[in-house]
Chain A
Amino acid sequence: MKVCVVGCGAVGSLFAANLAQLDDVEVWAYDLAQDHVDAVNRDGLHLSGAGDLVGRLRATSDPAELPECDFGIVATKAMHTGPAVAAVTGALSNASVASVQNGIGNEETIAGHVQRVIRGTTFPAGKLLAPGHVQWDVKGDTTLGPFEGSPAPMEDVELLADACTRAGMPTHAVADARGPQWRKVIFNASTNPVGALTGLTHGRVCEDPELRRLVSELVNEGKAVATAQGIELDADPEELIDHAARPEVAYDHKASMLQDVEARRPTEIDYLNGGIARFGDEHGVPTPMNRAIWALVKGLERSW
């Protein structure tokens, strides 16, 4: 099968390099960073850290070079989903296309360009060290399921999940993938912006009882919006938050949004707290705290 990874940053690279290990999968990567593309084509895509390997694959910044693919894996930052998928619709017109991005609303955007969409949530993480070289920080599971509004056939979901699992990225195919996605979104929306606004690491956010209460207020609104949509969370985001605060897990971790803010890059706030607020509106659930946090982080972006 042919797979096109759309957006070959840290997470996209984890999928691309691992899938490239399989004999029955031909991997293509579409990315706009020409130095990264050139390095991958010249030397392969190197992963180091939680796993050390080199993926041999074809990368390009020119959509016209892409062959017609069976699967797409969209791994851009959430704000780039629309333009990125629009650019590669030629290669993906008959493909089943999965999002493994942060936030909510990506599948809706993808469905504006292709017909068969897969809702996905992934926990592995890493960072781009240099062109062609990604550090794999954390291993973790991925969940895929047909996107309700414009679903890929379940057998396609299973094929892609099987390929990822065989490649060393454990992936579950499920009928309803909303639970894991909302758990992760609620986790991210309730902790990342608090770190971004205060400058505190995840552990310090959680050990301040007043701030931890604010985090819970955000979690509770997110849970109410999930419940109103009939979504059953696969686990309580509160547990994930407390687990991550442990010294041996992610006490000292600066949320990616805090890293974005420190580097003055646009954040994914529109797809986290903004997404919760938007879905809350659609289902008549008030989300004043997520809305407030959304406005504050947008304000922060506008101050640059």
Chain B
Amino acid sequence: MRTCVVGAGSIGSLYAAHLATVTDVLVLTRREEHARVLNEEGLRVTGRHDFTARVTAAADPRDLPDFELGIVATKATGVESAAESLTGRFPGATIMTVQNGLGAEEIVGRHGDWPLVSGVTFMSGTKHSDTHVEYILDTPTWIGPYRETPFARVQEIAALLVDSGLKAEALPDLRPAQWSKLIFNATVNGVAALTGLNHDPHFAAEREPSDLGHLVHDLVDEGKRVAAAAGVELHDDPWEMNVLATKRGSAHYPSMLEDVDARRPTEVELINGALVREAERCGVEAPLHTALYRLVKAREASYS
């Protein structure tokens, strides 16, 4: 069994290092230099686990042998070019996506006819260097079949992830979990990017009329109406996910805020944009999410 992780940010690095303890792991990086140091030094995990794994890394897919499982772990903004680089290769592979939002599977599917597996992950890590990732939250990855992919294949992948020391679960229908996270991310990431607030207790405060929790609650309720119209029964209540996350003590620095602070393109298209397009498709109003989407897009436009 050979696995290829495409994109070695914090999530990709966590998958690659853990899986390398049970299978051969290839890592496809964006930068030459990143591949070189991974080959030389391996990949170190600290935090919840502590070990160093050997991986085979390359920045050019032509340098990689065939593999059976590919995990696309880039940011949503990187899926297109990642999928492009796999085009015409690796015919025996099943490809799994773990991006925030919706639509990564469709993007990969446009570049080849690999069987696809949908994933959402709640684990988190901090990348300290190209070869060192700290494993912070050991919350699970949920995976499910996309279109015709047999559930048995999904179960095998979940078992592999569990063997490697990560938490994972195979679900016959991933959409309830995917949508819970979509609504959660659209709300929390959008509000964080615009206000500059980390995901802290302000997001759950509902005492004063101008408290942020009211808006967060309204956004979640609006998202739930879109999910209902799309025929999706949510796995978790995004408001409860929000309240729970703000009680963790150390406030999370949402990736969309990180992107805005660094004046980088954000994942807004596949997160907020996806939710707004689903609302349109299902014929329900989503004025607040539409406003959030427009404002974050405009914030990106202000970079130049």
Contact = CB atoms under 8 A, between A and B. Distances in A.
Interface of A: 194, 197-200, 204-205, 208, 210-211, 213-214, 217, 270, 274, 277-278, 288-289, 291-296, 298-300, 302-303
Contact of B215 (A211, A274, A292): A292
B210 interface: yes
Nearest to A278: B209
A288 B299 CA distance: 21
Contact of B295 (A194, A204, A217): A194
Contacts of B236: none
Given A293-B291, A295-B214, 10 more contacts: A194-B295, A198-B298, A199-B299, A210-B294, A214-B294, A295-B210, A295-B215, A296-B195, A298-B211, A303-B197
Interface string B256-299: 00000000000000000000000000000001101100110111
A278 B209 CA distance: 9
A274 B295 CA distance: 19
A256 B173 CA distance: 50
Nearest to B209: A277
Contact of B299 (A197, A302, A303): A197
Q: Give chain A's interface secondary structure class.
A: helix
B298 A208 contact: yes
A288 B294 contact: no
Given A205-B298, A208-B298, A217 B197 contact: no
15 contacts: A197-B299, A198-B301, A200-B301, A200-B302, A208-B301, A217-B287, A274-B209, A294-B210, A295-B212, A296-B191, A296-B215, A299-B197, A299-B212, A300-B196, A303-B197
A210 B218 contact: no
B128 interface: no
Nearest to B260: A199
A213 B299 CA distance: 16
Contacts of A293: 291
Nearest to B213: A295
B195 A303 contact: yes
A302 B197 contact: yes
A300 B218 contact: no
Interface residues of B, number: 24
B32 to A, nearest CB: 35
A300 B215 CA distance: 13
A106 to B, nearest CB: 18
Nearest to B263: A199
A277 B191 CA distance: 19
B202 interface: yes
Interface of B: 191, 194-197, 202, 209-212, 214-215, 218, 287-288, 290-291, 294-295, 297-299, 301-302
Given A194-B295, A198-B298, A214-B295, A300 B195 contact: yes
Contact of B291 (A214, A277, A299): A214
A208 B299 CA distance: 12
Contacts of B209: 274, 277-278, 291
B195 A292 contact: no
Nearest to A303: B196
A194 B298 CA distance: 9
Contacts of A194: 295, 298
A291 B214 contact: yes
Nearest to B297: A210
Contacts of A295: 210-212, 214-215
A288 B290 CA distance: 13
In the A-B complex, the 3 residue pairs with the smallest Cβ-Cβ separation, listed nearest first, are: A299-B195, A199-B302, A303-B196
A295 B205 CA distance: 11
Given A211-B298, A295-B211, A289 B291 contact: yes
A289 B287 CA distance: 8
Nearest to A261: B196
B218 A288 contact: yes
A134 B37 CA distance: 59
Contacts of B294: 208, 210-211, 213-214
Nearest to A298: B210
A274 B210 contact: yes
Contacts of B212: 295-296, 298-299, 302
Nearest to A269: B210
B202 A299 contact: yes
Contacts of A205: 298
Contact of B298 (A200, A270, A289, A302): A200
Nearest to B214: A295
Contacts of B291: 214, 217, 289, 292-293
A114 B212 CA distance: 35
**A208, A295, A298 — which one has the most chain B CB atoms within 10 A of its CB?**
A295
A213 B209 CA distance: 25
B110 to A, nearest CB: 26
A205 B215 CA distance: 23
Contacts of B288: 288-289, 292
Given A292-B291, A295-B215, A198 B299 contact: yes
Contacts of A210: 294, 297-298
Contacts of B290: 214
Nearest to B210: A298
Contact of A291 (B215, B295, B299): B215
